[in-house]
Structure 1
């Protein structure tokens, strides 16, 4: 019968790694929970920078923001007015608005899902709701799924920690001095 012998330090190191990951996850969760307002302010600042610097060049950040606005049917973070600081819109001689937040039911013209579209009137044909409300609503709707995934990951980590302790307790180096000689 084949016996596998691992160095006795492997399992404690694995347990320690898993323990550090679990601690980091708990700390991150606690920080997010207790620092909601600070987190909300920082997210608002980051989104404001994204909107102000949005150039329509289809960068990864711009594609992500277009995806959010298009699928959540929203415009800007608080409202469509968040786009008023955008450099392209401010410096353009045309009446531009972000295509990804156009209200398809109110828009009559060529449809595009990224970059900028030209409006016929100063009143943009876009969604009135800001994306902050839409994202918050999505999180509340999907809170059970998010918590289920987090608990599933935590359970897998806990099982890994328990198994590593069992492995550590059962590993022993083979003593070959007691093997009979033939």
Structure 2
């Protein structure tokens, strides 16, 4: 095997590992986003769902480990160190198996996540308290205002809130208010309960049919968001898997054609 071919192979392997390092950072960032997000329904779900929290920690661990392997792969490729190339191949194989297993488990647990989401939101709506500062309530207010929906299945879910239905005048969740597009651009939605202006007629009860709110529930829109982003996540994972396979092939090819081990090439710090 000519030295020129080996040089081309090792620099291709270096570029693949550099891209691999960047994609590992993307995976790590996705896990951090799940844990740190406080302004979407992900916050609502991860506060009460241990499975989503565990998944976020798995993403962080896999991302960090992937970045480490990309770094070692770069050193092994440029310096032609067989032990690093062999270790790199073995760890890539383990990561690939772990990613496939995690992807399959995540896909088949989507139904469970949807059920957990529905249960959490229903309980949140029932226990929602006007004027009470709570991160979970604020996150759900943000979801309803930005997604332009009300309740989980429909706005009638809010009739299960005893405090809201005890009001004499027409009172509704502020974040559900059906606003025009111009008025809906605010990043900070209204919190708590709002009382509708008194019209010409007299109102003797808080009838939900008179609420000026979005009529569509958030369930379908949240599920559509999950499906859309699941496709993006799976696409990223497939792309990373392809890069991993190419990296494994290049590393084993280079390892087989490095005739002697030279530890003096390993950088000393």
Pairwise TM-score range, normalised by the shorter structure: 0.5 to 0.7
Normalised by the size of structure 1, how large is the TM-score? 0.68
Q: Which has the higher contact order (CA 8 A, sep 6+)?
A: 1
Q: How does 1:4-19 map to 2 (within 5 A)?
A: 4-5=80-81, 6-7=83-84, 8-19=86-97
TM-score (normalised: structure 2)? 0.49
Structure with greater helix share of residues: 2
Match of 2:104 in 1: 26
1:108 corresponds in structure 2 to: none
Q: Could you tell me whether the CA contact under 8 Å between 1:70 and 1:101 is conserved in 2?
A: yes
Match of 1:179 in 2: none
1:29-80 deviation per Cα after TM superposition (whole angstroms, max 9, x unaligned) = 1443xxx4x5543332111012123235453322332222112222101122
Residue of structure 1 in register with 2:115 after alignment: 41
RMSD: 3.4
Structure 2 distance, partners of 1:170, 1:58, is: 60
The separation in 1 between residues aligned to 2:232 and 2:218, in whole angstroms, is 25
How far is the alpha carbon of 1:155 from its aligned partner?
1.7
Q: Spell out, residue by residue over 1:60-109, the C-alpha distance to the aligned partner (whole angstroms, 9 max, x if none).
A: 3223322221122221011222112335425667654210001236xxxx
Report the counterpart of residue 213 of structure 2 in structure 1: 126
For structure 1, the 5+ residue unaligned runs are 106-111, 177-182
Q: 1:49 to 1:173 in 2, by over 3 A?
A: farther
1:151 aligns with 2:151: no
Consecutive unaligned residues of structure 2, counting only runs of 5 or more, are: 1-77, 181-188, 263-269
Q: Structure 1 residue 134: deviation in Å?
A: 3.4
Give the alignment of 1:37-76 within 5 angstroms.
39-55=113-129, 56-76=131-151
The yes-or-no answer on 1:81 pairing with 2:156 is yes
Where has structure 1 moved over 6 Å in runs of 4 or more?
A: none
